[in-house]
Structure 1
Amino acid sequence: MVDRVICYRAPTTVVDVAESADWLEERVDATVSVRDRFLEVHRTDDLAERFAEARVPSPYERETGNTMLGTIRYEERALEAPEREGGVLYDGAAVQRALNAALPAEERVLETLHVALLDRAIGTWGDHDGRWHKRVTVLGQPALLSVPGLYEAPAKPEEYYKEKQRHALLSGDAPPREVLENQVEGDFLVENDPRTTDALMGYVLQAYHYLETGESFCDRAGCRLFNAHYQEDLIDAQLREPEFCGEHAQLYES
């Protein structure tokens, strides 16, 4: 039984982790606290190398890792100055193993759940289609929540990608958010979206729910525990009423 949840800040993002922690504590039978960035609190000497080993070099190659000296130096700089990291996809399972190993033995128990919010993109390999897929979360210990994954993993409306490509061809760069929101029908999250904290609350609860019950996700669209593959489903599950399906409302309705 989970009796303690520790949430870790993601300092380069717009997420208010303390607000998410308060929301969770109102709904679960556990104490919830907040710590600074996981990669600061639980830094190990080999962490930069472990991240280098977890790099995904190609979306269509299962093998990961680039441990050349220059890559390890990059990862060392990214640990020291996270705002300089970006554009790299990491194997979420490999990152999870590295962060689990970094936890002190007395905190590596299933009664204490660690929820690491990351400002990095994480993915999992799809055996069904032979490619990597970006993810918002990798459940387990610690649970990983990728803030960039919230914007990038669930697919946006098809028109979004067409409009973005059209704008890039005309101007040479990505269009600003307000341009896309005005020209593309449908609702979706974008980088630094003010709704990010609210949207991530359900994912923090998913991490708790998995360790507490062994159930990965809810299969009912619209529930906070639903694993959304499309932005419209994410918006519906995390930002609209009701918060939960009937079954999970009995467990988590505040």
Structure 2
Amino acid sequence: MVDRVTLYRAPTTVADVDAIADWLRDRIDATVSVRDRFLEVHRTDDLAERFAKARVLSPYDPRTGNTMLGTIRYEERALEYPEREGGVLYDGVAVQRALNAAVPDEELGLEHAHVAVLDRAIGTWGDHDGRWHKRVTVLGQPAIVSVPGLYEAPAKPEAYYKAKQKHALLSGDAPPREVLENQVEGEFLIEDDPRTTDALMGYVLQAVHYLETGEAFCDDERCRLFNAHYHEDLIEAQLCDPAFCERHAGTYGRG
């Protein structure tokens, strides 16, 4: 049984982890606390190298890792100055292993859930289609909740991709993202979206729910425990009423 939850801030993002903690306290029977950035609180000597080894090399190559000195130096700088990191996709499972190794042994029991809200993009390899898929979460201990993943992992509305293709045909290059975001009518979250904190609440709860019950996700797209693959579904699950399906409302109700 989970009796303690520790959340970790992501100060380079708009995610308000303290507000998420307040929301969580009203819904679970556990002590909820907030710490500063995970990669600062639980820094280990080999963390930069482990991030270098977790780098995705190609969207269609399952192999990861670039441990050249320059890459490790980049990861060291990214740990010290996280606002400079960006544009790199990491193997979420490998990152989770690295973070697990950094948590003190006395805090690793499953009764103490750690949820690291990160400013890194993470992915998992899909054997079914031979490519990497960006993810919002990797469940487990510690759980990872990726803020960039919230914007990048779910598929955007079809109109977004049609506008992108049309622009490329006319101009020969990819349009700036902000141009597409202004042109396309459709509900999806964008970087630094003011709805980020509200949307992340359900993903953090998913992490705690998994350790508590062993259930990864809910199949009901109207529930905050639903694993959305499209932005429209993400908004339906995380930002619209009802907050929970009938089955989970009894446990986590209150919106």
TM-score, normalisation: structure 1 = 0.96
SS, match of residue 63 in structure 1: strand
Matched residue, 2:234: 234
Would you say the 8 A contact 1:96–1:144 is kept in 2? Answer: yes
SS, match of residue 218 in structure 2: coil
Matched residue, 2:96: 96
Matched residue, 2:60: 60
Q: Does 1:17 align with 2:20?
A: no
Instruction: Report percent identity of matched pairs.
Output: 79
Structure 2 distance, partners of 1:181, 1:52, is 32
Structure 2 distance, partners of 1:173, 1:184, is 12
Structure 1 distance, partners of 2:193, 2:162, is 21
TM-aligned CA deviation for residue 184 of structure 1: 1.9
CA separation of 1:225 and 1:172: change in aligned 2, threshold 3 A: closer
SS, match of residue 10 in structure 1: coil
Letter in 2 for 1:195: R
Structure 2 distance, partners of 1:253, 1:107, is 29
SS, match of residue 6 in structure 1: strand
Structure 2 distance, partners of 1:185, 1:173, is 16
Would you say the 8 A contact 1:220–1:245 is kept in 2? Answer: yes
Letter in 1 for 2:101: A
TM-aligned CA deviation for residue 167 of structure 1: 4.7
CA separation of 1:172 and 1:60: change in aligned 2, threshold 3 A: closer
Structure 2 distance, partners of 1:172, 1:5, is 43
Q: Does 1:127 align with 2:134?
A: no
Where do 5+ consecutive residues of structure 2 fail to align?
none
Matches within 5 A, 1:39-188: 39-167=39-167, 170=171, 173-176=175-178, 179-188=179-188
Letter in 1 for 2:176: A
Would you say the 8 A contact 2:164–2:174 is kept in 1? Answer: no
Where do 5+ consecutive residues of structure 1 fail to align?
none
Letter in 2 for 1:201: M
SS, match of residue 95 in structure 2: helix
Would you say the 8 A contact 1:164–1:174 is kept in 2? Answer: no
Structure 2 distance, partners of 1:120, 1:182, is 25
Would you say the 8 A contact 1:167–1:175 is kept in 2? Answer: no
TM-score, normalisation: structure 2 = 0.95
Structure 2 distance, partners of 1:17, 1:175, is 27
Structure 1 distance, partners of 2:83, 2:53, is 21
Would you say the 8 A contact 1:164–1:175 is kept in 2? Answer: no
Q: 1:101-155: per-residue Cα shift (whole Å, max 9, x none)?
A: 0001111111110000110100001111111100000000000000000000000
Matched residue, 1:209: 209
Structure 1 distance, partners of 2:214, 2:50, is 28
TM-aligned CA deviation for residue 175 of structure 1: 4.3
SS, match of residue 64 in structure 2: coil
SS, match of residue 117 in structure 1: strand
Would you say the 8 A contact 1:117–1:146 is kept in 2? Answer: yes
Structure 2 distance, partners of 1:164, 1:129, is 23
TM-aligned CA deviation for residue 186 of structure 1: 1.9
CA separation of 1:44 and 1:175: change in aligned 2, threshold 3 A: closer
Would you say the 8 A contact 1:206–1:225 is kept in 2? Answer: yes
In the alignment of these two chains, the number of paired residues is 252
Q: 1:225-245: per-residue Cα shift (whole Å, max 9, x none)?
A: 000000000000000000000
Letter in 2 for 1:130: G
Structure 1 distance, partners of 2:73, 2:183, is 42
Structure 2 distance, partners of 1:133, 1:17, is 25
SS, match of residue 27 in structure 2: coil
Matched residue, 1:28: 28
TM-aligned CA deviation for residue 159 of structure 1: 1.4
Would you say the 8 A contact 1:3–1:112 is kept in 2? Answer: yes
